[in-house]
Amino acid sequence: MVQGLLKDGIVAGRLAPEQYAENFSDLHPPLTHHEAIVEADRCYFCYDAPCMTACPTSIDIPLFIREIVTDNPLGAAETIFEQNILGGMCARVCPTEQLCEEACVREAAEGKPVKIGQLQRYATDVAMQKDVQFFERGAETGKQVAIVGAGPAGLACAHRLSMHGHTVTVFDARPKAGGLNEYGIASYKSTDDFAQAEVDYVTAIGGIDIQTGKALGKDFSLADLTEKYDAVFLGMGLGGVNALRAEGENAVGVDDAINFIADLRQASDLSSLPIGRRVVVIGGGMTAVDAAVQSKLLGAEQVTMVYRRGKAQMNASEFEQDLAAAKGVTIRHWLAPKRVLTTDGRVSGLELSYMALDEAGALKATGETTTIACDQIFKAIGQTLSSDGDGVELAGGKIAVDAEGRTSLAKVWAGGDCATGGDDLTVTAVAEGRDAAESINRFLSGH
Amino acid sequence: MADIRNNFVGIKSPNPFWLASAPPTDKAYNVERAFKAGWGGVVWKTLGEEGPPVVNVNGPRYGAIWGADRRLLGFNNIELITDRSLQINLQEMKQVKMNWPDRAVVASIMVPCEEEAWKAILPLVEETGVDGIELNFGCPHGMSERGMGAAVGQVPEYVEMVVRWCKQYSRMPVITKLTPNVTDVRRPARAAKNGGTDAVSLINTINSITAVNLDTFSPEPSIDGRGSHGGYCGPAAKPIALHMVAEIARDPETYGLPISGIGGVTTWRDAAEFMALGAGNVQVCTAAMVYGFKIVEEMISGLSNWMDEKGHKTLDDFAGRAVRNVSDWQYLNLNYVAKAKINQDLCISCGRCHIACEDTSHQAITKEKDGKRHFEVMNDECVGCNLCVNVCPVEDCITMEALAPGMLDERTGKIVSGEYANWTTHPNNPAAKVVEPAE
């Protein structure tokens, strides 16, 4: 056993150097050509396919799978990218078991859906590795569009606008483009710097200028943009993190899961990343699972996810929950943080209240408590808009938009996690960015 | 336990599964292995006349087509008859027959279409003690260019003539192997019978090109950039073979002529189907070449279990039982009405039945009900064509249900009649023999 494993506190280098590479390798190694053909052959080419209906970007899944079977992976990639230019990342991070693969008729038939996500990755990998571009920039319209946020929504919007011939400037507060694809997703889902490769692939169409390190509300205001540009798309995601509202949450060792995930993605040497011996992750979503699993992979001895409701209410998919369990994460339900226990200003434990639903169905503390000893606590209890909206109307803490992504302000559209509507998923953000671009284009061309 | 011993034109074998004349039966080594594995008999790979042996190509001899999982569906070859010397083959056949007296060993022969050639080889073969001979009138490639194989089998007069020579110069049972590369397989079969053959075996392989290489534009299998048509066989060929066997089995002129069924036999079920259509036994090649000799264990076990289940004590109990049900179209009962029925509990809602019917057939399957995905047969549109059954990926989910006499056919608005009536008496048939109503 490596000595670092049992060290108390938050320390780096818990594992042997080679162990890091193994732990953070590709979660789903890509399908080989033969595996892809055999898997693709399982597709029934359904009429009005349920998988396609379940896909937020409405990719023609039966068609692209049939193109794989007939040894036409480029045709398959084009079919995918027509609907979803970030089809490569979606193939890696989509909770397919809740979307296309849940709807697959072979799930109904035998509990084993066609591996649509992996097939999508196979086809998109072929095209991206060969750097085949399927779309051309439209004839210049002279119209200028500003996009805030170079995440999935912003990139999808930018690409579609460029196809229509508009000139796009994308501002992003972070040093790199990609948004949550670059900063917010577990490393083992996006290996080999895929997020940046995808940014390059998407922007290769031309007419898209990405300016990083430029934040809304700091470097420019929304009014600046509406004045200078013909249209604006807001896709900056949720920059703020919800407060725990538990005593002691400012102690050393209480961190935001989203920052931990970002640091991990940006680290050049994983052995330099400190992690607690005993870690508690608060939350029940994908971010909580990503943080919990990666804590374990960095060498934490005990990792516990606590969620205030039951298994059925968790936002993390069944697959993600199973993945966490398989990696040795303990998931505990019906527990809400009450008090962070500290020793010398450092986290030493977390006191939790047992929760239950009362007769009216409201979540209530039962009065009983328990304590989990830990050195580190990650908060993954949801994110918030980091600004007050800068004059755009909000609804439920998000930018209110209509079905086309239009906000309350003229010339301003929004999509992705920062806007209302849809789940907070990469694929949903892509759909919203793409559809907003179509709406913007109709507006700019006077339709 | 069913008795699956086989007696085919007096040639006895412990089961009806023979290996066809082909690479698996090229030499003693293979045949001994086959007998150890349990095969009932072999037809030794075709012997040619004495002299320098034939030569084969030194590149690919086989081509194939596959399902997406690389399951071999169809197979072809451009291999010729044995390329070993006649003497070695004869010695080995003699030894093998001595070692395995309970198994059938049949010699396949192909020599030029001249009386002297046949007269010369027959005594040599007879001397080995093999159980019979099979005349290779089917090989469609290479040898046919030299006036042998299919070149003989395609000319009924030649078939009859050679069979006659063989009966004249040998006491061995003669099995005449027929080529499917003819427009009417009954003609060579009748000719063989007229010549005195004891049996026919069919089908030999079908002229084919399995694929074209789209980089080199060479047919496959490719020999230095060129290809030649080869003989097609394997599971994909079975329906063609079944039809030809049935045609001979029900032809009044050849009725009762023993048939050894060949063509895509892969499982016990295939064998049972050939035998039900009139074959006395079956010959297998492709399945053995794909999976090895062990598959005969499955065939023996499967056939026995099926026979036990159905109460067939011997092969004769079911042999030929389907022949009487093979009919010309004009005698099919036009008063029989069936409709497709979708079992909603088994349906997985893939919608293939709907789109197949909607795009290409009779617009008789719904796609939704109350705004939800739902597939159901509309009896007033369904003509009972069976397309939906064939495209449905779930076994037994869609079935064809016959309407009982007296029921209403919602499509035609007519009551289903219990009477048998066919095209020959149908009012739309200009040649119908109209029954005049009595005065």
Of A38, A46, A48, the CB nearest to B69: A38
Which of 108-127 (A) contact B at CB < 8 A? Answer: 108-109
Q: For residue range A349-360, what is the model confidence (pLDDT) as tens digits?
A: 999 999 999 999
* pLDDT surpassing 90 at residue A391: no
Directed axis angle between helix A61-69 and helix A116-129, to 10°?
A: 70
Query: For residue B256, what are the CA distances in angstroms to A294, B174, B242?
Result: 77, 15, 16
Confidence (pLDDT) at A241 = 84
Q: What is the DSSP letter of B151?
A: H
The structural domains of chain A, with segments of one domain joined by +, span 3-25+241-379, 33-129, 144-239+385-444
Beta-carbon separation of A47 and B352 below 8 A: yes
Confidence (pLDDT) at B125 = 98
Whole-angstrom Cα distance, residue A88 to residue A25?
Answer: 17
B358 to chain A: closest CA residue: A47
Q: How many residues does chain B have?
A: 439
Given a contact cutoff of 8 angstroms between Cβ atoms, the answer to whether A340 and A347 are in contact is yes
Q: What is the DSSP letter of B235?
A: G
Q: What are phi and psi of A414, to 5 degrees?
A: -150, 155
State the smallest CA–CA distance between residue B399 and chain A in angstroms. Answer: 18
| Secondary structure element (H or E) that encloses residue A364, with its range | strand A363-373
Q: What are phi and psi of B122, to 5 degrees?
A: -60, -45
Beta-carbon separation of B349 and A108 below 8 A: yes
Beta-carbon separation of B373 and A48 below 8 A: yes
> Would you call B367 an interface residue with chain A, using a CB distance cutoff of 8 Å?
yes
* pLDDT surpassing 70 at residue A1: no
Residues from chain B contacting residue A44 (CB–CB below 8 Å): 350, 352, 393
Given a contact cutoff of 8 angstroms between Cβ atoms, the answer to whether A158 and A232 are in contact is no
- Taking alpha carbons only, the member of B234, B241, B265, B240 closest to residue B72 is B234
Beta pairing class for A329-332 and B11-13: unpaired
Please say whether the structural domain A144-239+385-444 has been given the CATH code 3.50.50.60.
yes
> Binning pLDDT at 50, 70 and 90, where does residue B435 land?
low
Task: Give the largest CA-CA distance in chain A.
Answer: 68
Beta-carbon separation of B351 and A109 below 8 A: no
Query: For residue B251, what are the CA distances in angstroms to A83, B257, B370, B395?
Result: 60, 10, 55, 35
SS3 B17: strand
> Binning pLDDT at 50, 70 and 90, where does residue A437 land?
very high
Beta-carbon separation of A44 and B69 below 8 A: no
> Binning pLDDT at 50, 70 and 90, where does residue A2 land?
low
* pLDDT surpassing 90 at residue A163: yes
CATH class in words for B6-325? alpha beta
Confidence (pLDDT) at B436 = 59
Confidence (pLDDT) at B299 = 97
Q: For residue range B40-67, what is the model confidence (pLDDT) as tens digits?
A: 999 999 999 999 989 999 999 999 999 8
The two three-digit tokens of residue A306, written as one number: 């606590």
Which of 65-94 (B) contact A at CB < 8 A? Answer: 67-70
A124-136 mean pLDDT: 97
Dihedral angle over CA of A54, A59, A63, A65, nearest 10:
-80
Q: What are phi and psi of A376, to 5 degrees?
A: -145, 140
Residue given tokens 């119908």 in the structure block:
B432
Whole-angstrom Cα distance, residue A243 to residue A261?
Answer: 18
Reported ipTM: the value is 0.85
- Taking alpha carbons only, the member of B102, B85, B109, B86 closest to residue B39 is B102
Whole-angstrom Cα distance, residue B38 to residue A52?
Answer: 51
* Side chain identity, residue A392: V
Q: For residue range A311-321, what is the model confidence (pLDDT) as tens digits?
A: 999 999 989 99
> Would you call A105 an interface residue with chain B, using a CB distance cutoff of 8 Å?
yes
* pLDDT surpassing 80 at residue B439: no
Please give the mean pLDDT across all residues of chain A.
95
A68 to chain B: closest CA residue: B68
CATH architecture of the domain B329-425 equals 2-Layer Sandwich (3.30)
Whole-angstrom Cα distance, residue A10 to residue A358?
Answer: 38
- Residue A41 makes CB contacts below 8 A (sequence gap 6+) with A69, B67, B68, B69
Q: For residue range B74-117, what is the model confidence (pLDDT) as tens digits?
A: 999 999 999 999 999 999 999 999 999 999 999 999 999 999 99
> Would you call A63 an interface residue with chain B, using a CB distance cutoff of 8 Å?
no
Beta-carbon separation of B393 and A44 below 8 A: yes
| Angle, vertex CA A100, rays to CA A97 and CA A103, nearest 5 | 85
Whole-angstrom Cα distance, residue B282 to residue B201?
Answer: 9
B365-394 mean pLDDT: 97
Beta-carbon separation of B352 and A45 below 8 A: yes
Beta-carbon separation of B68 and A38 below 8 A: yes
Q: Give percent of chain B above pLDDT 90.
A: 93
Confidence (pLDDT) at B338 = 98
A66 to chain B: closest CA residue: B68
Radius of gyration of chain B (CA): 25
The two three-digit tokens of residue A103, written as one number: 């709807």
| Angle, vertex CA A382, rays to CA A376 and CA A386, nearest 5 | 105
Q: For residue range B26-36, what is the model confidence (pLDDT) as tens digits?
A: 999 999 999 99
Confidence (pLDDT) at A244 = 84
Whole-angstrom Cα distance, residue B151 to residue B153?
Answer: 6
Beta-carbon separation of A37 and B349 below 8 A: no
Beta pairing class for A398-399 and A394-395: antiparallel
SS3 A212: strand
| Angle, vertex CA A21, rays to CA A20 and CA A27, nearest 5 | 105
**Stronger pLDDT, A148 or A318, i.e. the higher one:** A148
CATH classification code of A33-129:
1.10.1060.10
Whole-angstrom Cα distance, residue A217 to residue A361?
Answer: 40
Confidence (pLDDT) at B434 = 57
Which residues of B are the active-site residues?
A: 139
CA B307 distance to own-chain centroid: 21
Whole-angstrom Cα distance, residue A319 to residue A98?
Answer: 9
Residues from chain B contacting residue A105 (CB–CB below 8 Å): 348-350
Q: What are phi and psi of B23, to 5 degrees?
A: -50, -35
The two three-digit tokens of residue B288, written as one number: 């053995």
Q: Give the ranges where B170-325 is alpha helix by DSSP (H).
A: 186-195, 238-250, 268-276, 286-291, 295-310
User: Which listed CATH number (3.40.50.300, 3.40.50.2300, 2.30.30.60, 3.50.50.60) goes with A3-25+241-379?
Assistant: 3.50.50.60
The structural domains of chain B, with segments of one domain joined by +, span 6-325, 329-425
Is the fold of A3-25+241-379 the same as that of A33-129? Answer: no
Whole-angstrom Cα distance, residue B78 to residue B59?
Answer: 10
> Would you call B390 an interface residue with chain A, using a CB distance cutoff of 8 Å?
no
> Would you call B252 an interface residue with chain A, using a CB distance cutoff of 8 Å?
no
Given a contact cutoff of 8 angstroms between Cβ atoms, the answer to whether B175 and B9 are in contact is yes
State the smallest CA–CA distance between residue A106 and chain B in angstroms. Answer: 8
SS3 A430: helix
- Residue B176 makes CB contacts below 8 A (sequence gap 6+) with B134, B135, B137, B159, B163, B188, B192, B195, B197, B199, B200, B201
Whole-angstrom Cα distance, residue B360 to residue B388?
Answer: 11
B355 to chain A: closest CA residue: A47
Q: Is A22 exposed, middle or buried (0-12, 13-18, 19+ CB in 10 A)?
A: exposed
> Binning pLDDT at 50, 70 and 90, where does residue B138 land?
confident
Whole-angstrom Cα distance, residue A196 to residue A178?
Answer: 7
Residues from chain B contacting residue A45 (CB–CB below 8 Å): 352
The two three-digit tokens of residue A244, written as one number: 């725990």
Whole-angstrom Cα distance, residue A443 to residue A404?
Answer: 11
SS3 B408: strand
* pLDDT surpassing 80 at residue B438: no
| Secondary structure element (H or E) that encloses residue A348, with its range | strand A346-357
CA A131 distance to own-chain centroid: 24
> Would you call A71 an interface residue with chain B, using a CB distance cutoff of 8 Å?
no
- Beta-carbon contacts below 8 Å between A and B: 39
Confidence (pLDDT) at A3 = 65
Residues from chain B contacting residue A37 (CB–CB below 8 Å): 68-69
Beta-carbon separation of B348 and A47 below 8 A: no
Given a contact cutoff of 8 angstroms between Cβ atoms, the answer to whether B360 and B387 are in contact is yes
